[in-house]
Chains A and B, each alone.
Chain A
Amino acid sequence: MRLGYVALTASATTMGYSLLIAVAMMDFTGEEVLTQCLAVGPYLLGLGLGSVYGDHIPADKKISRLWLLEWLSVTVLPILPLIQLAAVFIFLQYTHPSVGLDQKTGLAFCLGIVGVLSFIAGILGGAQLPLILSSAQKLSTEVALAFNYIGALLAGAGIVFLIALNIPFGHQILIFGIIQLSGLMLLLSTFRKRTTGLALMFIPLIILFGTAHLYPVVEHYTVKNSYHRTRVDHVSQLFRKNLYQVIKEFGELERVRTPYQTIDLFIEPPVPHLSIPGNATLYLNRKPQIDILTTAIYHESMVAAALNLFQGMPKKILILGGGDGLLLKELKHLTSTRITQIELDPLMLQFARDNNVISGLNENILSNMPKNMEVKIEDAISYLRKNSKEQFDVVIIDLPFPNGPDLSRLYSLEFYKMVRRVLSPGAIVVIDLPLYFTEERAFAQESKTILKTLRSAGFRYPLPFGPLASFVAVGMNETPLRFDYLRFPEELSVSAASNLVDVFPDENLTEADWAKQNVNTMFWPKEL
């Protein structure tokens, strides 16, 4: 049974670390499917090659080699996530500020790292199994194999559980490391030189606790650096203390990990001698959402556009997303309108309620919610899938940009068709989405795809607007939408008003041209 437990811990931890590496890198790449797939493939390949190696070890050396491999696993595997993070830090230091980790070069680098590290985890796991199978005298091969496979199941289930419980990443490394150490401890009784073995146990123990302690520190430096972008010209500069001093002292980073996303608030101090004002930017999964300097353009113009295009007083408004509470603040004056907000992440709402910067921006609306407003904690897609009876006059969609498969579903044909189901006749939908332009001042392919997706969902005349912060308004109308500039409120700020301008670089596109464009669907995602 002892070796059965070792088989279980070996597979649980090697697979567990491979999955942890992928999950940690997803934060930087934003590519969930690609990162998971490129961790699993090399892991399985490593597993296979490892087992071929394990098979070739002479019978008399099997037990000692098993101990060595298990010791090596306990020692090496916890460092892998830290190596990955350090590699990302160094990559960021050497690349031009415009090269992000989600762009092609950065992505290839990140996925390469995930692949190599998962392969190492696979080799260490794979090499142990044949040794366990041949060393287990009282244990049948089937039972040892069963333990091994249960270990793989526990790895995946364990990580899902740890993510759901919001356990910090450093602690997750520690938990897997302790499980692995327990296997090594059991194996110690089969090791001939027990005193040496016991002494050697201290090395992985120190490495494990050191990694768990260091991980959040390195993560803090890497993430902060990815926002304010210090760069070095030479390798020797990486070892200079003042580099870390600059990263440490320039700005403040507040990070909250939730089961759904990572929330970062990066506060930059003003630089008076360069006339740079201070700012605070809210990032979700490392993508900027709002900042103090531009929030007026963004939320004010979004609400003003929706109310202007609706041509009357809406009875019911639906907000999808918008967990920062800034849209609710903008709609506060509509006291007779029923406003429902659907937000997936309760910790985002809590952050927007408790954080001084964000609660200052939303004027504490989430703590002092008016009676006509309601916030439901639910996934926007599942809300729309279940609710096709209640109808709304205005729908405001303020969801993160389509970085990654989870988010690109919120810009899909199916999603927009579900939005259509909850619209009352004459309803207006305003969507916050990225509009990119080519050098010839035409829409870039990604933007055309989103606009074509909207048209395919039955919104015939999308109105793209906002030269400063881009949005698209759509309705069930049979004629193109137009702003009525005489109806905008007088108190509208200049910056918001300047964003309420149509952008029509592709207005000469014919129906035949539109027919050639891609449609983004949940089951056939397109690059957005």
Chain B
Amino acid sequence: MTFQPFFIYAVTFILAFCSLFYEFAFAQVLAVSIGGTKIQYLIVISLFTFSLGMGSLVYGKIKPRAETRKILLWVEIGLTFVGLLGPFALTWILRPGVFPGGSAMPQALAYFTVILVGFLSGFEIPCMFDLSPSRNGRILAADYVGMLAASIAFPLFFLPVFGTASSVMIVALFNCTVFLWLRSIEGRHWETMIGLVAIFSSMILTIIFRAELNELLSSLYLGVDP
């Protein structure tokens, strides 16, 4: 199966953008819930880089047993869900009193989510290499440019314009688009069309209800409102 180079680069760009974006959003939630923006960003970035590597190592082990496209399909499902639900889940589990005992368990769970996103993202580049073997250099370039774009877009555009909750939902919908593209290769055009309409509508709704979505995150943070 051959792929148009433009699609390969665009998909790589989107995937890299989404992965680092999720991590920045998680770092933001961790900084709000635990405190210490500087420390949380440092921890998240190093855990992300580490788990990214671990993901590519594990991909090397499972590659002979599974089809690349299917691996990528599952990775995108996983990333869409973890990215979409991550900020809400993290805010909730890090609220005092939700977990009995100290803060060690919820914090470990929160950092595990950070590792999970990095680990799943680690599969993406080797998958893209395998889907288009002759374009490794350019795929890598698209990957790094995607990460650069995320690091600029998150603090300068998404966070001030949409807030944490809606930003991460918009980006998760981008991730979902890649999932649809991978499904469309099987020739399910109607399904793809319906999916695209659903994604577009969800994106519009997310933008319209951005205040409510961020309020939901606030309620999870505060618990019962006085």
Question: Do A and B belong to a common assembly?
Answer: yes
Residues of A within 8 A of B (CB): 11, 15, 19, 23, 26, 32-34, 36-38, 40-42, 44-45, 47-49, 51-52, 55, 142, 145-146, 148-150, 152-157, 159-160, 163, 260, 379, 381-382, 385-386, 404-406, 409, 413-414, 417-418, 420-421, 458, 521-527
Given A34-B155, A153-B49, A414-B218, do A385 and B144 touch, yes or no (CB 8 Å)?
no
Whole-angstrom CA separation of A37 from B148 in the bound complex: 9
Task: Give the nearest-CB partner of A44 in chain B.
Answer: B147
A41 touches B222 (CB 8 A): no
The 9 closest A-B pairs by CB, nearest first: A156-B46, A149-B53, A41-B151, A524-B163, A48-B144, A153-B50, A152-B49, A41-B148, A36-B41
Whole-angstrom CA separation of A108 from B132 in the bound complex: 39
B222 cross-chain contacts in A, Cβ below 8 A: 414, 417-418
A418 cross-chain contacts in B, Cβ below 8 A: 222
Interface string of B149-180 (1 = CB under 8 A from A): 11110111001101111000000000000000
B160 cross-chain contacts in A, Cβ below 8 A: 525-527
**In the complex, what's the smallest C-beta–C-beta distance from A13 to chain B, in angstroms?**
13
Query: Which interface residue of B52, B155, B159 has the most chain A CB atoms within 10 A?
Result: B155
Whole-angstrom CA separation of A213 from B57 in the bound complex: 41
Residues of B within 8 A of A (CB): 20, 24, 28-29, 31-32, 35-39, 41-43, 45-47, 49-54, 56-57, 60, 87, 91, 95-96, 137, 140-141, 143-145, 147-152, 154-156, 159-160, 162-165, 210-211, 214-215, 217-218, 221-222, 225-226
What is the interface of chain A mostly: helix, strand, loop, or mixed? helix
A523 touches B145 (CB 8 A): no
A406 touches B36 (CB 8 A): yes
B140 cross-chain contacts in A, Cβ below 8 A: 48, 51-52
A159 touches B96 (CB 8 A): no
A52 touches B137 (CB 8 A): yes
Can you name 11 A-B residue pairings with CB atoms under 8 Å?
A: A23-B38, A40-B147, A44-B147, A47-B144, A48-B140, A149-B50, A150-B50, A152-B50, A414-B221, A421-B226, A458-B226
B96 touches A386 (CB 8 A): yes
B151 touches A37 (CB 8 A): yes
Given A36-B41, A413-B218, A417-B225, do A523 and B141 touch, yes or no (CB 8 Å)?
no
Whole-angstrom CA separation of A174 from B31 in the bound complex: 29
What is the interface of chain B mostly: helix, strand, loop, or mixed? helix
A15 touches B46 (CB 8 A): yes
CB < 8 Å neighbour of A522 from B47, B49, B96, B218: B218
B60 touches A142 (CB 8 A): yes
Given A48-B140, A386-B96, A413-B218, do A523 and B164 touch, yes or no (CB 8 Å)?
yes
B53 touches A522 (CB 8 A): no
Given A32-B38, A385-B96, A421-B226, do A37 and B155 touch, yes or no (CB 8 Å)?
yes
A15 touches B49 (CB 8 A): yes
**In the complex, what's the smallest C-beta–C-beta distance from A315 to chain B, in angstroms?**
21
Task: Give the nearest-CB partner of A386 in chain B.
Answer: B96
**In the complex, what's the smallest C-beta–C-beta distance from A134 to chain B, in angstroms?**
14
A155 cross-chain contacts in B, Cβ below 8 A: 46
Whole-angstrom CA separation of A154 from B43 in the bound complex: 10
B151 cross-chain contacts in A, Cβ below 8 A: 37-38, 40-42, 44
CB < 8 Å neighbour of B218 from A379, A386, A521: A521
A386 cross-chain contacts in B, Cβ below 8 A: 96
CB < 8 Å neighbour of B141 from A15, A49, A148, A260: A49
B226 touches A163 (CB 8 A): no
**In the complex, what's the smallest C-beta–C-beta distance from B26 to chain A, in angstroms?**
12
Query: Which interface residue of B144, B159, B165 has the most chain A CB atoms within 10 A?
Result: B144
CB < 8 Å neighbour of B31 from A23, A405, A413: A405
Whole-angstrom CA separation of A375 from B43 in the bound complex: 30
Task: Give the nearest-CB partner of B42 in chain A.
Answer: A156
A32 touches B41 (CB 8 A): yes
Whole-angstrom CA separation of A449 from B211 in the bound complex: 15
B221 touches A522 (CB 8 A): yes
**In the complex, what's the smallest C-beta–C-beta distance from B146 to chain A, in angstroms?**
9
Given A153-B49, A522-B32, do A37 and B152 touch, yes or no (CB 8 Å)?
yes
**In the complex, what's the smallest C-beta–C-beta distance from A483 to chain B, in angstroms?**
27
Whole-angstrom CA separation of A52 from B144 in the bound complex: 11
Query: Which interface residue of A42, A146, A524 has the most chain B CB atoms within 10 A?
Result: A524
B148 touches A42 (CB 8 A): yes
Given A37-B155, A44-B147, A52-B137, do A145 and B56 touch, yes or no (CB 8 Å)?
yes
A521 cross-chain contacts in B, Cβ below 8 A: 163, 214-215, 218
Query: Which interface residue of B29, B42, B60, B163 has the most chain A CB atoms within 10 A?
Result: B42
A159 cross-chain contacts in B, Cβ below 8 A: 42
